[in-house]
Each structure stands twice: as structure tokens, then as C-alpha cells.
């Protein structure tokens, strides 16, 4: 727990120093998720239109979104089974960039969903787009630590859960294709 707290305190110390940086971290923690979803939807709708309405393109989008929701749901189950108070509850005098509920923090649901979404995208979109989505997922995770609403281990747990979920889903999809 010591390392988790030390990393948290270092990252959280970045908040409250500069209004522009605070806004950047706040935006990434709270709103980048919407940008990612819109970006992915626009990409798939464009491909759908350009393909003369090939519904296999929509199927790919649905696989990405459904997989992300399934892994996110597992993260929420873990969240309810394992109590881990958020940093702003466990520590005093930290920088909190926005109001957040008092629920358990492990693993980060936002980071789990968007990391899984990015990883699943590697199966169906160009690498540049999947890389961009993965950078977005990492920014969401790190920004939630800087903002004071998650511990670093919450983000690490979300990454691990997302990678395990991705590999299991990819295996399931490959078996189904046989």
C-alpha cells in the first residue's frame, strides 16, 4: 500500500498547480470518454456508409462495445466485492479536481471500459486508430489519479482486467470462428 500511496501523492501533486493543466486532467478524467465513443462511432458509421451498408461493419462495432460492457460489468462486480475507499476519503489534504461519489474505487470502471474498448479495436480498426484509443484510455486512467478520485492500483487493476478480458474474448471469438 505504501507504493500505491506514494505514486498517488506524486501524481496528485500535479493538480492544483496550473489552471490549464487542471482543466486538461479534468477533461481527460470526465469527458475524454465521450470523445472516444463519438470518434469510434463516426469511424464505424463512415465505414458502414462507404461499404454500401455492409452490416458486418456494424457487427464489429457491436462486438467491441459488448466486450467492453462485459469486462466493465466484471469490474463492477469486483468493485462491490472488494472494498477500497477512494483517495479523497482515505487521505486528507489532497487535490480533488471534481466531485465524485463515495463508492469503492477498485478497479476503475472508466479505465476498464475504455482500455477494453481500445484493445478490442485492435481486432477491427487500423492500428493508428487503436493506438489512439489506447492512448486515450491511459490518459483517462492517469487523469483520474491526478484528479484525486482513484489510486494508481485501481488503474493498474483495470489494465490487468482489461487485458485478461481481451485475451479471453479474443480466444472465444477465434474458437467461434472455427
Mean predicted confidence (pLDDT) in 117-136: 97
Q: What is the mean pLDDT of the chain?
A: 92
Q: Is the pTM of this model over 0.85?
A: yes
Cα–Cα distance measured from residue 15 to residue 22, given in angstroms and rounded to the nearest whole number: 6
Q: Report the number of distinct structural domains present in the chain.
A: 1
DSSP 70: H
Summarised one tens digit per residue, pLDDT across range 37-51 is 999 999 999 999 888
Cα–Cα distance measured from residue 85 to residue 105, given in angstroms and rounded to the nearest whole number: 6
Q: Which residues contact 12 (CB under 8 A, 6 or more apart)?
A: 87, 94, 95, 145, 146, 148
CATH number for 8:
1.20.144
- Domain of residue 74, residue span: 2-177
Amino acid at each position: 500500500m505504501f507504493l500505491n500511496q506514494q505514486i498517488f501523492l506524486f501524481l496528485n501533486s500535479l493538480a492544483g498547480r496550473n489552471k490549464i493543466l487542471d482543466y486538461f486532467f479534468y477533461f481527460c478524467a470526465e469527458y475524454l470518454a465521450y470523445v472516444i465513443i463519438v470518434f469510434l462511432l463516426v469511424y464505424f458509421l463512415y465505414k458502414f456508409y462507404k461499404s454500401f451498408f455492409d452490416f458486418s461493419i456494424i457487427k464489429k462495432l457491436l462486438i467491441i462495445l459488448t466486450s467492453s460492457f462485459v469486462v466493465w460489468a466484471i469490474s463492477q462486480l469486483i468493485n462491490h466485492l472488494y472494498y477500497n475507499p477512494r483517495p479523497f476519503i482515505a487521505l486528507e489534504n489532497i487535490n480533488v479536481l471534481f466531485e465524485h461519489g463515495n463508492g469503492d474505487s477498485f478497479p476503475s470502471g472508466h479505465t476498464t471500459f475504455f482500455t477494453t474498448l481500445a484493445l478490442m479495436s485492435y481486432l477491427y480498426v487500423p492500428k493508428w486508430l487503436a493506438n489512439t484509443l489506447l492512448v486515450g484510455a491511459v490518459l483517462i486512467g492517469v487523469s483520474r489519479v491526478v484528479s484525486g478520485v482513484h489510486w494508481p492500483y485501481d488503474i493498474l487493476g483495470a489494465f490487468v482486467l482489461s487485458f485478461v478480458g481481451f485475451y479471453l474474448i479474443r480466444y472465444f471469438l477465434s474458437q467461434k470462428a472455427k
